Amino acid sequence: MFSSRVVVAGHRAVGRACSATRMQVPRRWMAKKTRAELRKAAEADAQAGKYWKFAGVATVLGGIGGIAVLGAPAEDADEVEDPYKDENPAMAYLYRAKDAVSSTQDKYVGFNPNLLPARKGPENYLNDFVLVLDMEKTLTYTEWTPETGNRTMIRPGMYFFLDWAKQACGEVVIWSEKDIMDSQMLVQKVQEKSGFFLYQGHALYSNDLRPVELPDGKVQKVKDLSVLNRDLSKVIVIDDDALSIQMCKDNAIRITPWDGDPSDTSLVDLVSLLQALMNVNKDVRGIVPRYAECPDAGKAFMQAAMATAQTPQQAPTQGLAQSAPGQVAEQGGPVASSGSWSILGIKLW
């Protein structure tokens, strides 16, 4: 007779053998199943990859074809001036195509009647003044060369100017005449490097411009401050393009277009003039139109202030000239009527 220990050991051995047998079959079967599934998945991925490649090639070809059609020069090129004739040919096609898409969007989507969100309580702003700054050739300049491609430079004094603006103005708006895809990243970089912060919705782009028909039949996109959703008596726009501000001449101050000159000071020269306007705190539409013929109002103001400082009867105060009692100023002279403030010799009120 076997001892109980031998019987128990035998049962255990038999149990282990049966367990191993039971486990081997499912594992082999599962391994075969897994290999088959992997093979099918690989085949499906390969097939999907072919479809995606086809879709990608079709998208690229379609995009190139769309740019070629939408970006082609006008057939009556002799009558219609091409704004991109001096650009690289490939970029000119791209810019014309983007303009065509943008004009279609304006036609069917419509124009936003309120470009800026409603103002919050007055305690959230330094004052009621809104300074609107053009981007291209006012704050920055972009040039294209075969060696560097597109390169954007900032105007001398831009960081100083923005630092002053955020401390002196209630709101600052940057308005680019380019598409949001081209300018949004540049606006963000300007904010990051200068520490300047725009309120939400205070960056506007080409789709926020209003298309108007000029007397010669051409269509020009311009800045329309009437849809800015702000009190126009306190809105000042700085721009280098006279056509762009033709609908807001009473609020617009011209600045010379910047073409990359590192010695330019026009932006810094504007600080004294703008600070003077804010100190006066009157309706800017009664003062700014006096500068309509000044291509660089800030520089003209600085020259007048220097001339005023050299006049014995005058004492310059914050960029403005205050006349002595009894003096009368002629048009364009440095002195205003008795006891009043003047800019370039013109009464402010």
| Residue 28 pLDDT | 53
Domain positions in the chain are 47-110, 127-303
Mean pLDDT of 110-131: 82
Place of tokens 């220097």: 306
How far apart (Å, rounded) are the C-alpha atoms in residues 31 and 25? Answer: 10
56-76 pLDDT per residue, tens: 788 888 778 777 776 677 765
29-45 pLDDT per residue, tens: 555 557 777 777 778 77
How far apart (Å, rounded) are the C-alpha atoms in residues 247 and 314? Answer: 37
Structure tokens at 267: 């932006």
| Residue 222 pLDDT | 93
134-193 pLDDT per residue, tens: 999 999 999 888 888 888 999 999 999 999 998 999 999 999 998 888 888 888 888 887
CA 326 → CA 313, 323, 334, distances in Å? 11, 8, 15
| Residue 176 pLDDT | 93
CATH classification number, 127-303, choose in 3.90.1570.10, 1.20.1070.10, 1.10.10.10, 3.40.50.1000 = 3.40.50.1000
Dihedral of CA 104/105/107/108: which sign? Answer: positive
236-268 pLDDT per residue, tens: 999 999 999 999 999 999 999 999 999 999 999
- Provide the pLDDT confidence category of residue 198 given band limits of 50, 70 and 90: confident
How far apart (Å, rounded) are the C-alpha atoms in residues 231 and 8? Answer: 99
Least confident of 2-11, 203-212, 248-257, 271-280: 2-11
- Provide the pLDDT confidence category of residue 21 given band limits of 50, 70 and 90: very low
Per-residue three-class SS string for the chain: CCCHHHHHHHHHHHHHHHHHHHHHHHHHHHHHHHHHHHHHHHHHHHHHHHHHHHHHHHHHHHHHHHHHHHCCCCCCCCCCCCCCCCCCHHHHHHHHHHHHHHHHHHHHHCCCCCCCCCCCCHHHCCCCCEEEEECECCCEEEEEECCCEEEEEECCCHHHHHHHHHHHCCEEEEECCCCHHHHHHHHHHHHHHHCCCCCCCCEECHHHCEEEECCCCCEEEECCHHHCCCCHHHEEEEECCCCCCCCCHHHEEECCCCCCCCCCCHHHHHHHHHHHHHHHCCCHHHCHHHHCCCCCHHHHHHHHHHHHHHCCCCCEECCEEECCCCCCCCCCCCCCCCCCEEECCEECC
Q: Which of 22-31, 35-44, 189-198, 225-234 has the highest mean pLDDT?
A: 225-234
Least confident of 84-98, 196-210, 218-232, 321-335: 321-335
Task: Identify the CA nearest to 119 among candidates 235, 223, 282, 229.
Answer: 229
| Residue 46 pLDDT | 78
| Residue 31 pLDDT | 57
